[in-house]
Structure 1
């Protein structure tokens, strides 16, 4: 149980770090005088920049948690790899999309949602392909070592 919480905290920390680095990058890119965790529309929702940043940090932590928790789908033996992949995709897409909208990363309009979905699916497919290729290589190495 302690290993679970350490992994969760680590993933949340990674989410916060990535979110902070992205906000620094875009704040620099747009030559802002102060760091801004998201768009002007996002910032306008809050009474002060510190409140906006605090909420953003919580959202980034939840993003890290979504991906950590989704990884447990692949640890069950009850489902086929196809079913695991579909469940993993749905959990990460729904969880991350909701958090990305809350973080103000894109406007909540049908056109942006379609654009975002296409990008998410393409990235997911590339990562899936790379993981499957790696797994096939690992299985081949194990079979080669076992069978001689």
Structure 2
């Protein structure tokens, strides 16, 4: 299991960095001032220059990618029920996401913003989970149909 965790850490790092760069590019275009911003201005002002802000952002994006890549291994624990795996996965990912997103300057420590981040996370999580469940059910139905047609 340790080998799988280490492997997933290194798989998650470039995925997180790529996702972070794409989101930051989108954010920079939305701001519309023609300059690249790795994060919100309140985050960038904590650093002496944008290169340092970008470096820290890249590290945080890599951590975020690793978080999601490692926590997916929870679903391979067959001795746990699907509900238990889902709740533990959700709890770990939402907690890790909130910590990393706060460090990245994506929100401030106000109840309203924390609630907004959690609700956004819940909507994305539930949507992804439902998609995975429907896709898995479709695959199982296809396998069952092949088994039944070969009899």
TM-score calculated relative to the size of structure 1: 0.91
Q: Distance in 1 between matches of 2:3 and 2:113?
A: 40
Q: How far 1:32 moved relative to its partner?
A: 2.9
Q: How far 1:80 moved relative to its partner?
A: 0.3
Sort the Cα spacing of 1:3 and 1:128 in 2 relative to 1 into closer, same or farther, 3 A: closer
Q: How far 1:90 moved relative to its partner?
A: 0.6
Q: Distance in 1 between matches of 2:33 and 2:109?
A: 24
Q: Which moved more, 1:32-41 or 1:53-62?
A: 32-41
Q: How far 1:5 moved relative to its partner?
A: 4.3
SS at match of 1:104: coil
Q: Which position in structure 1 is the counterpart of 2:110? A: 109
Q: Distance in 1 between matches of 2:38 and 2:142?
A: 45
Q: Does 1:145 align with 2:146?
A: yes
SS at match of 2:29: helix
**Counterpart mapping for 1:31-46 below 5 A:** 31-46=32-47
Q: Distance in 2 between matches of 1:134 and 1:39?
A: 36
Q: How far 1:138 moved relative to its partner?
A: 1.4
Q: How far 1:4 moved relative to its partner?
A: 5.5
| CA RMSD, 1 decimal | 1.7
Q: Which position in structure 2 is the counterpart of 1:27? A: 28
TM-score calculated relative to the size of structure 2: 0.90
Q: How far 1:70 moved relative to its partner?
A: 0.8
**Counterpart mapping for 1:67-86 below 5 A:** 67-86=68-87
Q: Distance in 1 between matches of 2:3 and 2:134?
A: 32
Sort the Cα spacing of 1:87 and 1:3 in 2 relative to 1 into closer, same or farther, 3 A: closer
- Per-residue CA deviations over 1:76-104 (Å, capped at 9, x if unaligned) read 11100010000110111011111011101
CA contact (8 A) 2:24 2:38 kept: yes
Q: Distance in 1 between matches of 2:8 and 2:129?
A: 22
**Number of residue equivalences:** 148
**Counterpart mapping for 1:77-96 below 5 A:** 77-96=78-97
- Per-residue CA deviations over 1:11-51 (Å, capped at 9, x if unaligned) read 21011111111111211221234311111110111122111
Gaps of 5+ in 2: none
